[in-house]
Structure 1
């Protein structure tokens, strides 16, 4: 799961030719054969060429290689579906099911009518899809070849959102580790800065974060799950999704800060109906409603907006993407019956950190530390806002050790209002391990 940006055709071909030159550079006696390596690879038997293609680690590498060599392209065409399935399964190791469910939840696959019955059927199918590696391998072989739309969607995620999220969250965490206090608009730029251009320059100039396989898996799973819905996931997975949500909302808020005059000016062709220049151009309610609505449109809209690098285009794209949010349900209807997770919380089950190299799905270190080693089915507004701006449930123990930031996690409970903690203790039998709060015996 790379976090490099999507290359253009010329770059793909160039990097593919470089790969061909580097794949075979010595013979069995150690003699340098680098000047003949491309032709050596292309002259291999078809079975060996197919074997090489079947072990390519990711889609950008596969694409670059087949575009660089007519011979390898012809070989790829003979077994295209199987090679694409194998490559995607390898690239999405640990989150392939989430990616596939994300694809199947789109309107083109799911259908326009989303009734309770169709959603329940989808949930049952999603729960039945295998998580075991052996079962998953057999399951992927029976799937149709990945559609071009899915491959483009993956390319957007790996090339833009994953990289930008990692930079954003790790910068916030590093600031917190150095003593900079969190604010809701920590990453919002001042109004006189061209945000889109500055963001693009930062992404180009900054070194790519060095992320482990488990960290990439968590970010990608959160991105795919963000594209669906929350009710079937473990609480730490929901908070991983919330980290993505905070990231996108802060970016949209910063963009509105920059372009609101263009959206309000009556002479502007991009003026949004209902925006006006009397008093503050956009009230907090306008921000909240439009941020909620635009965020709800998902990752493809976010990727389209965040890749814009000039002000005029940003105004045009954002004005077309802005969506007003309406609450059409009774929140009481959303409260579920007790689940196995609720019961584990009521029993105050112990929750251990099993390491970062184990099977995917277990709680990361930061989640275990936040809840003091006890199971909690609380997330979202029940966890400190600052932790989500760090992407706290994405990172391996290594990241926390390198930043010396483990102690920061439980300290964030100090930002929660005491009345709120009283409610958590009363309703859920839990209180944070902080010195100033007098916890009753809830065990």
Structure 2
């Protein structure tokens, strides 16, 4: 709320200088929290008055404009009836503006993820999921080049409220969980403690795009090549790596949950005696041999289900929750999809423009911590040359460390870049009898 604090200090100073009769009640410039400056007791009549609420409409409008996060907007409108009333007059605008300031262009992904929530649950008799999902993806790719103003004009108030609700209830709670998981995997990433704007945006972008993948492909039959062609292939390689990092996080958390309840939900457990019939697995239980399929099924349910799972702390409640939400699904993960497509492409000899850029060894220098350019880890690993090698070409530990999420200062100051390089060398030595670093290969193709 620093902008509000500066604005209030300026307004208070101006009003104090221009007042010729009675000065307004003193307003502390050391504003530590919303609750400390929203109201102030009037000692004359004991009535609680609000300095901010006494401001003219136009000044209150400027204060609302200074709010740049959804959390601060929520705090302000819940603390002040006057600001809540003014917020309600243009709720869609204020929510959208706060979301845009919080997420930037990632709001396009958030908007698309919200539209996709009902993609596979349409009741119409003649509804064709494949046709609808293809149209949905096409619209998404076109939408990525639109402006915030154009997108806002096409969004309904209900859609904007739903976007804000999902962001607050799912994305925001998962963000610190993801950061803690990566830091537990590699402690060097813990300093500095606070995320930068760019780091936060990369993680949130990966989460929303992972959610879009779940929305589109969890219930609709698509081959791996179709998934790559329709959706994943539109992203830059380091952006696909963001999705893989998020998927690794979700997969690990669901695996941990299944491990914790495995004995309780074993088909032979006595709790299922009443439901047992024949050789079939009772509803609500799972066979350990199929645990990976159940894990894939839970991952495909998306981030809201992951967030709900992580909120359950009591063991017996977790047993019941997992039992009720078990889904056995032979669905391909993002990682498996890309791995299959890579092998298929190699066999067929297909070459994309990105492959050609890699073969030409096009230069790709680090241009700063920006969400529209590759992060330092990616540029350093590939030695400032373009690469289209992802997924299986990257050591899995790097995905567990969220290597493409972090800014240059964190990586340099913590020594994480050296750790990445060490793991890279050890992983390739372990994978092959002789060290075969893909960065040293020099493929020749016909142009």
The reply to whether TM is greater than 0.5 is: yes
Structure 1 residues not aligned, in runs of 5+:
1-14, 178-205, 426-430, 434-438
Compared with structure 1, are the counterparts of its residues 209 and 152 closer, same or farther at alpha carbon in structure 2 (3 Å cutoff)?
farther
Compared with structure 1, are the counterparts of its residues 147 and 141 closer, same or farther at alpha carbon in structure 2 (3 Å cutoff)?
closer
1:29-428 pair list within 5 angstroms:
32-34=26-28, 35=40, 39-107=50-118, 111=122, 115-131=129-145, 135-145=147-157, 146-174=159-187, 209-229=193-213, 230-264=232-266, 265-268=268-271, 274=281, 283=288, 285-327=289-331, 338-356=351-369, 358=370, 360-417=371-428
After TM superposition, the score normalised by the length of structure 2 is: 0.73
The 8 Å contact of residues 174 and 403 in structure 1, kept in 2 or not, is answered as: no
Paired residue total: 377
Deviation, structure 1 residue 127? 2.0
Deviation, structure 1 residue 56? 1.6
Compared with structure 1, are the counterparts of its residues 54 and 142 closer, same or farther at alpha carbon in structure 2 (3 Å cutoff)?
farther
Structure 2 residues not aligned, in runs of 5+:
18-24, 29-39, 43-48, 214-231
Please list the CA deviations of residues 17-70 of structure 1 after superposition, one character each: whole Å capped at 9, or x if unmatched.
xx99x9569534598324479622111111221232233212222122111111
Tell which structure's C-alpha radius of gyration is larger: 2
Q: CA RMSD in A?
A: 3.7
Secondary structure in 1 matching 2:384: coil
The 8 Å contact of residues 250 and 299 in structure 2, kept in 1 or not, is answered as: yes
Please list the CA deviations of residues 181-221 of structure 1 after superposition, one character each: whole Å capped at 9, or x if unmatched.
xxxxxxxxxxxxxxxxxxxxxxxxx9994000000000000
Matches of 1:223 and 1:343, distance apart in 2 = 29
After TM superposition, the score normalised by the length of structure 1 is: 0.74
The 8 Å contact of residues 345 and 376 in structure 1, kept in 2 or not, is answered as: yes
